[in-house]
Structure 1
Amino acid sequence: MRRIEPFFPLSHGIPRVDDRRIISGIVYVIKHGLMWRDAPKGYGPHKTIYNRFVRWSRLGVFNRIFAELAGAAGAPDRIMIDATHLKAHRTASSLPKRGALSRCIGRTKGGLNSKLHTVCDGQGRPIVMLLTEGQMSDHKGAVLLFSRLPQAKELLADKGYDSDWFRHALASRGITPCIPPTANRKVQHAYDKQLYRQRHKIENLFARLKDWRRIATRYDRCAHIFMSAITIAATFCFWL
């Protein structure tokens, strides 16, 4: 609590409910996939928990906590990149879209879903995350994340990231790609098969995040609210 407390807004006027209790209630609801009104009474009024979660999400509090704690670990020597689908519940996509901001919900063969693009370090801890529509390809997500990649020596990725542009862009930054080539390539690029076995760590990362019920299934309509839930799960699983 001492590590994340400096990121919370200061209270004005009447002292607010204990932040530790509210954060515990938010974590409990997200992890167990409850409706906010079903939060245990020991965490206080459910409206207080929900309102605090939404207010701090709009202020970017949880995103800053994740970015600060992940950045404090320093630049890793090895990074990995991958993406996973998160199924959108009907409560997240039933009402018409309002406002200019995207909900980051798209339609694929598996139905309505969002896609989480993630870069992690060699230990399988998330460093950078991006939420997009479900139909966006892994390669397009890598293009959006490229400017935020840390300066590492190696990058591990699957065949979905095998493109000349991505390989040349990594080489221009001094990052060695460890990416298996697709079968239809005329020139089959060599890669370190022994090193590639370490890529299971990013798959384990997604598995741990999806253990949190409100991450595996998206119930939140607003993209920034859902992204806050993801950053809370990532922070508590890997950085605290």
Structure 2
Amino acid sequence: MSERFWLTDEQMERLRPFFPKSRGRPRVFDRRVLSGIIYIKKNGLQWKDAPTVYGPPKTLYNRFVRWSRMGVFARIFVELAQPGPDGETIMIDSTHLKVHRTAASLFKRGTRPRAIGRTKGGLNSKLHMVCDGLGRPLIFFLSPGQMSDAKGALALLSALPPAKTLLADKGYDADWFRDALEEKGMAACIPVRCGHKNPATHDRMPYKQRHRIENLFARLKDWRGIATRYDRCCELFLSAVHIAATVKF
């Protein structure tokens, strides 16, 4: 039992205000169910393979799906994700996630969006992320794998937190993006792509800190349920990402 993941009493007290109120019969022990959900997503297991100490697998699955569609895990992440002491700098980047065949079944009319695309590497999704200067996640956005970094930045532009500088790689080198950041009062620290007609300069010293967002992606992908996408629905997979980010950071 010591080898299993269990939320501590302090963690449960911090999360309890975000839980929906039970209606009628009391819910099954929240700590046991949430710990089981985290264990499944961390190890990339099927629900039927959940250890018996976490209770019936059907209960774990139903709770995860129901609370994901209610936005419970997203609200927990949003409320707990706050910029660190270095609130003057934010970073943006994206990474590809391999889609398992169980999540890549044919799309049917009327089903929920899946955010699955096809690239040279096969079926995958792209996870766009904004983090603070200390490498802690703030915003996530999931898109099909073929979406460019610039289009992902456009989707996140209105949700960017206040900051003085934004760090990004060459994939975000676009004049419209630099102009939009300037309107928000942010300085763009973005290297210029080859062949740019109007090259801009960037400060190389703060750009060296961009490795923190790369390390952040690496830590998230330590969870097998994040490195490989097994969930068909976009909102369910994003809930797994929110859970992983909340537990680790």
TM range, normalised to the smaller chain? Answer: over 0.9
1:10 aligns with 2:26: no
Judging changes above 3 Å, is the alpha-carbon distance between structure 1 residues 122 and 102 closer, same or farther for their aligned structure 2 residues? same
1:185 aligns with 2:196: yes
**1:24 shift after superposition:** 0.4
Could you report, residue by residue, the CA deviation over 1:7-59 in whole angstroms, capped at 9, with x for unpaired residues? 11111222111111111000000000110010111111111111100110010
Match of 2:142, SS?
strand
Identity %: 64
Could you report, residue by residue, the CA deviation over 1:105-163 in whole angstroms, capped at 9, with x for unpaired residues? 00011100111100000011110110011100000000110000011000000000001
* Preserved CA contact (<8 Å) 1:75 1:151: no
* Preserved CA contact (<8 Å) 1:75 1:150: no
1:118 aligns with 2:129: yes
1:29 aligns with 2:64: no
Match of 2:240 in 1: 229
1:84 aligns with 2:76: no
Match of 1:141 in 2: 152
1:176 aligns with 2:209: no
* Cα separation, 1, equivalents of 2:208 and 2:108: 42
Match of 2:37, SS?
helix
Q: Displaced runs of 4+ in structure 1, greater than 3 A?
A: 71-75
* Cα separation, 2, equivalents of 1:63 and 1:129: 10
**1:222 shift after superposition:** 0.7
Judging changes above 3 Å, is the alpha-carbon distance between structure 1 residues 224 and 151 closer, same or farther for their aligned structure 2 residues? same
Structure 2: give runs of 5+ residues left out of the alignment.
1-11
* Cα separation, 2, equivalents of 1:153 and 1:49: 43
* Preserved CA contact (<8 Å) 1:104 1:132: yes
Could you report, residue by residue, the CA deviation over 1:178-218 in whole angstroms, capped at 9, with x for unpaired residues? 00001111332111111111000000111011111011101
Match of 2:117 in 1: 106
Match of 2:206 in 1: 195
> Which one-letter code corresponds to 2:20 in the other structure?
P
**1:237 shift after superposition:** 0.9
Match of 1:2, SS?
helix
The within-5 A match list for 1:127-166 is 127-166=138-177
Judging changes above 3 Å, is the alpha-carbon distance between structure 1 residues 15 and 100 closer, same or farther for their aligned structure 2 residues? closer
The alignment's TM-score, normalised by the length of structure 2, stands at 0.92
* Preserved CA contact (<8 Å) 1:80 1:157: yes
Match of 1:219 in 2: 230
> Which one-letter code corresponds to 2:240 in the other structure?
A
* Cα separation, 1, equivalents of 2:84 and 2:109: 39
1:204 aligns with 2:212: no
Structure 1: give runs of 5+ residues left out of the alignment.
none
Further displaced range: 128-137 or 65-74: 65-74
The alignment's TM-score, normalised by the length of structure 1, stands at 0.96
Match of 1:20, SS?
helix
Report the aligned-residue RMSD.
Answer: 1.4
Judging changes above 3 Å, is the alpha-carbon distance between structure 1 residues 100 and 26 closer, same or farther for their aligned structure 2 residues? closer
* Preserved CA contact (<8 Å) 2:83 2:138: no
